[in-house]
């Protein structure tokens, strides 16, 4: 096995580019494939997960063999989604940074075709395309692929899942007999085997990791919950991981939007990604997620394809996909590029058989996990807060104010100061998790503490407060963060929004600093230039007074009470 890129005999321009990208050693799939692609001629079917480095595995040898002086299409890469298409093209461009006169073009649906036709007129040597758009362009005579030497089918199983079979057949008809075909797939369903049989010659099957298996870096956990507690359990789990940076997978677009809305309302840095959003909206959400301005991306399977984010800590299956194979794709979003990750599944008691089915597909076992108690969540959050404080860089400017601070705080002891300081950030969690019920399901089908939940069908409609014991429930229902039919809450508007990097969590922090805990806050809506907060009548005027005219990240805030029912 080769340990360095130099040993793989790649030319110095490519080595220079990948070294600059921080690639130190070839990944397993690169070690396995690059020598074969450089030294042999046979077709390859490669079973590899996303995130294993497969783009470079085929991309580097392809670039090694490209002839930039020949102005015609030599390589066609087909992949299932626009996002993946752009990602692959960008990766190839990065690897080819020092190769002169090389033109790489990506074409995909959902964007203007005229512009893409113009790009194709500039004689690219490499095209990266989604199948539908590629066929459309071929039909219009915008390009020719009759001289390609290499055809790459990336995420072939996904392309077939998405119903691109006919387009693939038609595109392949336009390619020459003599060419090399490289097929990459995370799973090997019968349809993929058929493609390999029909269009490839004596293909070598290369398996990186176990066939159909998930990455070794991913640990799989499942939680058994009552159906009605699904949303509450989701919040509990995400709260238990204060540094979570993950994708929550839902089954339908509507469910995706509902969950994202509920999470936003409940103060999480979350947003939705699904097919009902415009391309612009999707790009914006992805941008925020990649920049870590969003902690939680709630997504459908299709929308999440091609997301290239390496350091996700978690993938949460809010609901399992219908196909066990799809789980492989989902869990493969974490544990990438040698990082570890967790894939979490929420199931009700009737769904337990699905776990067995998935275990067979991925060749790994799940651990049954217990939903943390409210106390455990609070302890975790508290420790995270202490870590944050530990890591704060103390600005020397603070020294000049120390006498003032000492004077003000003299009457308070050290313990009291710590108590107050921690409470400022932490009251929301303490409020929320006081008397929080056990959400784990026991064999009898009853919750372990025998308490019932407060929502009838799932938690979305009545998002927010977990049940807190019957007596208190009625009192608290009025203060539910969803705040829809609540009395005593009014809206205030502030002229800062996502354009100023305001997130629900930051807004809650701001309110907490003003002494308004989560209990006193209802719905939150953050728009681009403004945000709306439903807040208890008692606190509204005070908050308006305190924030109006103050600054947030350099932007002067105007705060007003909004009368109309929004
Ligand atoms: P891919 O499976 O091609 O989507 O790659 C997953 C991620 O791993 C991408 O962000 C690549 O930039 C990164 N990557 C690929 N090869 C290497 C390598 N040899 N060393 C470090 N990172 C890599």
Q: What is the pLDDT along the chain (566 residues), one digit of tens a residue?
A: 667 888 888 999 999 999 998 888 888 889 989 999 999 888 999 988 777 889 999 999 999 999 999 999 999 999 998 888 999 999 999 999 999 999 999 999 988 999 999 999 999 999 999 999 999 999 999 999 999 999 999 999 888 878 888 999 999 999 999 999 999 998 888 888 888 888 898 888 888 754 434 556 888 999 999 999 999 999 999 999 988 999 999 999 999 999 999 998 888 889 999 888 888 888 888 888 988 888 999 999 877 776 778 788 999 999 998 877 788 888 888 877 666 789 999 999 888 888 988 888 888 889 999 999 988 888 888 888 888 888 888 888 999 999 998 888 888 888 888 888 888 777 777 777 877 888 887 654 444 433 333 322 222 222 333 432 222 222 223 233 333 334 578 889 999 988 888 888 888 878 877 777 776 788 888 888 899 888 888 788 888 888 888 888 888 899 988 865 54
- Whether 305 lines ligand 1, by a CB cut-off of 6 Å, is no
The predicted pLDDT at position 442 comes to 66
Q: Is the CB of 23 under 6 A from ligand 1?
A: yes
- CA geometry: angle at 451 spanning 369 and 231, to 5°? 55
What is the 307 CA–ligand 1 centroid distance (Å)? 13
Rg of the Cα atoms in the chain: 27
Full-model pTM: 0.53
Measure CA 242 to chain center.
Answer: 16
- Ligand 1 atom closest to the Cα of residue 87 is 4
The backbone torsions φ and ψ at residue 247, rounded to the nearest 5 degrees and listed phi first, read -110, 135
Q: What is the DSSP letter of 412?
A: S
Pair 92, 60: CB distance under 8 Å = no
How distant, in Å, are the alpha carbons of 84, 94, 167, 214, 513 from that of 28? 21, 21, 32, 14, 49
What three-state secondary structure class fits 367?
strand
Of the candidate CATH numbers 3.40.50.150, 3.70.10.10, 3.30.70.330, 3.30.930.10, the domain formed by 480-562 belongs to: 3.30.70.330
Instruction: Classify 187 in phi/psi space as left (phi over 0), alpha (psi -120 to 50) or beta.
Output: beta
372 CB under 6 A from ligand 1?
A: no
Q: How far is the CA of 56 from the centre of ligand 1 (A)?
A: 7
Residue 337 CA to ligand 1 centre (angstroms) = 6
22 CA closest ligand 1 atom index: 21
Where do the CATH 3.40.50.300 domains begin and end in the chain?
A: 6-207, 218-371
Token pair belonging to 282: 């999707």
Candidates 56, 61, 79, 89: which one to mutate for ligand 1, based on the most atoms within 8 Å of Cβ?
A: 56
CATH architecture of residue range(s) 6-207? 3-Layer(aba) Sandwich (3.40)
Tell me, in angstroms, the distance from the centre of ligand 1 to residue 55's CA.
Answer: 7
CATH code reported for the domain at 218-371? 3.40.50.300
From-to residues of CATH 3.30.70.330 in the chain? 480-562
Under a CB-based contact definition with an 8 Å cutoff, are residues 253 and 274 in contact?
Answer: yes
In residues, how long is the chain? 566
């Amino acid at each position: 096995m080769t340990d360095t890129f130099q040993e793989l005999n790649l030319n110095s321009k490519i080595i220079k580019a990948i070294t600059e990208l921080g690639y130190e050693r070839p990944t397993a799939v690169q070690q396995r494939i690059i020598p074969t692609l450089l030294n042999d001629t046979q077709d390859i079917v490669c079973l590899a997960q996303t995130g294993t480095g497969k783009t470079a595995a085929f991309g580097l040898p392809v670039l090694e063999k490209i002839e930039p002086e020949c102005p015609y299409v030599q390589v066609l890469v087909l992949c299932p989604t626009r996002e993946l298409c752009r990602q692959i093209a960008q990766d190839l461009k990065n690897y080819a940074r020092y190769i002169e006169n090389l033109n790489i073009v990506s074409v995909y649906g959902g964007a203007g075709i005229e512009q893409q036709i113009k790009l194709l007129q500039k004689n690219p040597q490499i095209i990266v395309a989604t199948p539908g758009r590629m066929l459309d362009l071929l039909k219009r005579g915008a390009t020719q692929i009759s001289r390609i030497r290499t055809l790459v089918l990336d995420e072939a199983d996904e392309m077939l899942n998405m119903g691109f079979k006919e387009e693939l057949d038609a595109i392949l008809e336009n390619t020459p007999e003599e060419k090399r075909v490289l097929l990459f797939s995370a799973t090997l369903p019968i349809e993929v085997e058929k493609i390999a049989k029909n269009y490839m010659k004596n293909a070598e099957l290369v398996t990186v990791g176990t066939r159909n298996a998930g990455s070794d870096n991913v640990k799989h956990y499942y939680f058994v919950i009552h159906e009605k507690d699904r949303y509450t359990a989701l919040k509990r789990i995400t709260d238990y991981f204060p540094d979570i940076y993950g994708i929550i997978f839902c089954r339908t677009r509507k469910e995706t939007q509902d969950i994202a809305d509920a999470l936003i309302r409940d103060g999480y840095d979350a947003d939705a990604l699904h097919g009902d959003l415009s391309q612009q909206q999707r790009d914006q959400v992805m941008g925020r997620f990649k920049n870590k301005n969003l902690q939680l991306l709630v997504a459908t399977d299709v929308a999440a394809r091609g997301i290239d984010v390496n350091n996700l800590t978690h993938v949460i299956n809010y609901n399992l996909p219908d196909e066990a194979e799809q789980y492989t794709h989902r869990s493969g979003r974490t544990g990438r590029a040698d990082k570890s990750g967790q894939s979490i599944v929420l199931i009700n008691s009737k769904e337990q058989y699905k776990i067995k089915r998935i275990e067979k597909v991925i060749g790994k076992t799940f651990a049954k996990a217990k939903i943390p108690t409210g106390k455990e969540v609070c302890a975790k959050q508290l420790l995270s807060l202490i870590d944050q404080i530990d890591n704060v860089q103390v600005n020397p400017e603070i020294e000049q104010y120390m006498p003032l601070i000492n004077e003000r705080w003299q009457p308070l002891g050290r313990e009291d100061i710590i108590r107050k300081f921690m409470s400022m950030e932490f009251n929301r969690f303490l409020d929320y998790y006081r008397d929080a019920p056990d959400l784990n399901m026991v064999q009898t089908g009853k919750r372990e503490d025998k308490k019932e939940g407060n929502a009838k069908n799932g938690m979305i409609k009545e998002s927010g407060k977990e049940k807190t014991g019957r007596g208190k429930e009625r009192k608290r229902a009025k203060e539910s963060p969803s705040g829809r039919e609540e009395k005593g809450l009014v809206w205030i508007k502030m002229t800062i929004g996502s354009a100023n990097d305001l997130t629900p969590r930051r807004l809650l922090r701001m309110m907490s600093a003003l002494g308004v805990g989560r209990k006193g806050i209802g719905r939150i809506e953050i728009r681009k230039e403004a945000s709306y907060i439903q807040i208890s009548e008692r606190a509204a005027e005070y908050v308006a007074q305190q924030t109006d005219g103050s600054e947030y990240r350099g932007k002067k805030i105007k705060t007003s009470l909004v009368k109309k029912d929004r």
